[in-house]
């Protein structure tokens, strides 16, 4: 069991959506300090003000997790200004809901830089300190799409397949070292945060409410859960893909559960809420 009380928690993409909710929940659990990394300065300002008004210790940083240099510079600042991060939640991510042929090279690279490179590079900056203190917890937000292909999600799915494979491999490496640094991998279905606005619900698979999945992730930290798959239908996917011939699985996913049509009316976040380009302003 991992304790959140008196720990320093860092959440990427922590100024909005489930990142914001998880941050407050960790503070309610008694976290000593919350470090928020986000690229949206307006959200950083708003969330920080809200949490500080409740007398919580919050340290916001404007960080572009697609930029390894920016990650390293701000990680150094966190270690100097706040201390060793005990709990790291790699939450930042983006999706471009298009057919692959419609993507630009910039969109492909940006998705991979944030969803894959960002997760790995942020972890690299804090992992050795966790190992040295013989305690820590890393949470990696993958996706139900880590298990299944889906039209109009090719690059996103690729990035989340990568996160799942890396996260599980990291978990095994740390387990072999017996360093008491735990890894939880989260595989949620669609979450009602606006990121996937316009998606259709697959059969028996409700769109998750942010409060619900945020609590499940916090519980994963507290009880050292290795995999969190939610809703329950996510667990069916690897089983069906393992048992059924691929053509049968495609038929079931497309025609029975409706998975392959979920992105047909995808809208996503409004442009004014989308991930902005790199901002130069930093916030202590």
DSSP characters over 76-108: HHHHHHT---SEEEE-------S-GGG--HHHH
Domain-located, residue 158:
yes
Bond prior to 231 in cis (omega within 30° of 0) = yes
Strands across the sheet containing 33-38: 58-62, 33-38, 8-12, 87-90, 136-141, 181-188, 227-230
Residue 102 counted as domain residue? yes
Provide long-range contacts, Cβ within 8 A and 24+ apart, for 66-73: 66/110, 66/113, 66/114, 66/117, 66/118, 67/113, 67/278, 68/117, 68/121, 70/278, 71/118, 71/121, 71/122, 71/125, 72/121, 72/125
CB 46 within 8 A of CB 21: no
Q: Kindly report the average pLDDT of the chain as a whole number.
A: 92
With respect to residue 1, please indicate whether it lies within any of the assigned structural domains.
no
Residues near 175 by Cβ (< 8 Å), separated by ≥ 6? none
pTM of the model: 0.92
Q: Look-up: residue for tokens 């150094």? A: 76
- How many independent structural domains does the chain possess? 1
Per the structure, the complete domain to which residue 212 belongs is given by 8-273
Could you tell me the pLDDT band of residue 276, with boundaries at 50, 70 and 90?
low
- Comparing CA positions, the residue from 62, 257, 38 lying closest to residue 144 is 257
pLDDT (tens digit per residue) in 104-114: 999 999 999 99
Options 56, 59, 156, 260, the catalytic residue: 156
Within-domain flag for 281 = no
CATH of the domain at 122: 3.40.50.720
- At 243-263, the pLDDT tens digits run 999 999 999 999 999 999 999
In the block, tokens 């990035």 appear at: 159
Q: Is residue 108 part of a domain?
A: yes
Q: Is 156 a catalytic residue?
A: yes
3-state helix, strand, coil in the chain (%, to 5): 50, 15, 35
Report if residue 284 sits inside a domain. no
Q: Is the pLDDT of residue 272 over 70?
A: no
Look at 4-8, 154-158, 201-205 and tell me which has the smallest mean pLDDT. 201-205
State residue 282's pLDDT score. Answer: 29
Task: Please report, for residues 77, 103, 227, the alpha-carbon distance to residue 186 in angstroms, rounded to integers and kept in the order given.
Answer: 28, 27, 6
Number of H helices, E strands in the chain: 9, 7
pLDDT of residue 1: 61
278 inside domain: no
- Is residue 3, in this structure, part of any structural domain at all? no
């Amino acid at each position: 069991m991992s304790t959140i009380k008196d720990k320093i928690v860092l959440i990427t993409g922590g100024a909005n959506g489930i990142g914001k909710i998880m941050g407050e929940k960790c503070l309610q659990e008694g976290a000593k300090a919350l470090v928020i990394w986000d690229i949206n300065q307006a959200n950083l300002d708003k969330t920080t003000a809200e949490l500080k008004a409740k007398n919580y210790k919050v340290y916001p940083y404007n960080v572009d997790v697609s930029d390894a240099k920016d990650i390293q510079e701000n990680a150094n600042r966190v270690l100097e200004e706040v201390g060793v991060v005990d709990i790291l939640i790699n939450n930042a991510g983006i999706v471009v809901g298009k057919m692959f042929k419609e993507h630009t090279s910039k969109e492909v690279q940006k998705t991979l830089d944030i969803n894959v490179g960002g997760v790995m590079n942020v972890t690299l900056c804090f992992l050795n300190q966790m190992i040295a203190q013989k305690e820590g917890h890393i949470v990696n937000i993958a996706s139900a799409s880590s298990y299944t292909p889906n039209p109009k999600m090719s690059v996103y799915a690729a990035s989340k397949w990568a996160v799942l494979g890396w996260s599980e491999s990291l978990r095994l490496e740390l387990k072999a070292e017996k360093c008491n640094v735990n890894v939880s991998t989260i595989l949620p279905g669609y979450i009602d945060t606006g990121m996937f606005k316009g998606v259709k619900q697959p059969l028996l698979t409700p769109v998750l409410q942010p409060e619900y999945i945020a609590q499940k992730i916090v519980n994963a930290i507290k009880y050292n859960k290795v995999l969190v798959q939610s809703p329950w239908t996510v667990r069916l996917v690897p089983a069906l893909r393992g048992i059924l011939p691929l053509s049968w699985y495609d038929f079931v996913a497309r025609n029975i559960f409706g998975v392959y049509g979920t992105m047909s009316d995808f809208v996503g976040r409004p442009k004014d809420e989308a991930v902005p380009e790199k901002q130069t302003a930093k916030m202590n």
